[in-house]
Copies of this chain bind each other. A is one copy, B any other.
Amino acid sequence: MNTLEAIFNRRSVRKFTQEAIGNEALHTILRAGMSGPSAINSRPWRFLVVKDPATLQKMADGNGSTAEPLRQAVLGILVLGDLERAIERAPEFWVIDASIACQNMLLAATELGIGSVWLGTWPVKEKVEAQRRLFSLPETVVPHSILAFGYPEASQKQLPSKGGYEEDRVRFEKW
């Protein structure tokens, strides 16, 4: 698949089959997550990989109603920021770097025919704290987002675009 096809055709897939995602695909997705740029190459990300259905339910419980798709996903990845690697001058760069990791992972999954949906956690304090408690995370590791993965159910293969080009978003040379 051409990169542009992946970018333009990716959709948020919320219904998955129970077909397992193999280790090779998982490794490719994680490697994609670690292949984005980051501030001063700090790479301040961590990945908590979950396949156990009971744990996926608990992650969904803590992440609000939009996290329902996680309940039938075969794979969830909690993407985390590692403050020990954050750059001192402007630590919040970790939020951007972890976002880059997430988007790379969604696009890699698209290439592999795996569906995915991004479930926002940071900056919603109660969602961040719920994931922190669930996994007893240290203070220096901050929940950023949960990504749910699985092969798309048939109904999810022709989802409409919710995006498209908006002329009024672009200005030229001056505001």
Question: Which residues from chain A sit less than 8 Å from chain B, CB to CB?
Answer: 1-8, 10, 12, 27-28, 30-32, 34-37, 39, 41, 43, 45-52, 55, 82, 89-90, 92-93, 95-96, 99-100, 102-104, 106-108, 110-111, 117-118, 120, 122-124, 135-138, 141, 145, 162-166, 169-175
Contact = CB atoms under 8 A, between A and B. Distances in A.
B28 A4 contact: yes
A124 B52 CA distance: 40
Q: This chain: how many copies in the complex?
A: 2
A118 B52 CA distance: 37
Nearest to A48: B171
A3 B118 CA distance: 19
B48 A175 contact: yes
A108 B4 contact: yes
A126 to B, nearest CB: 10
A31 B175 contact: no
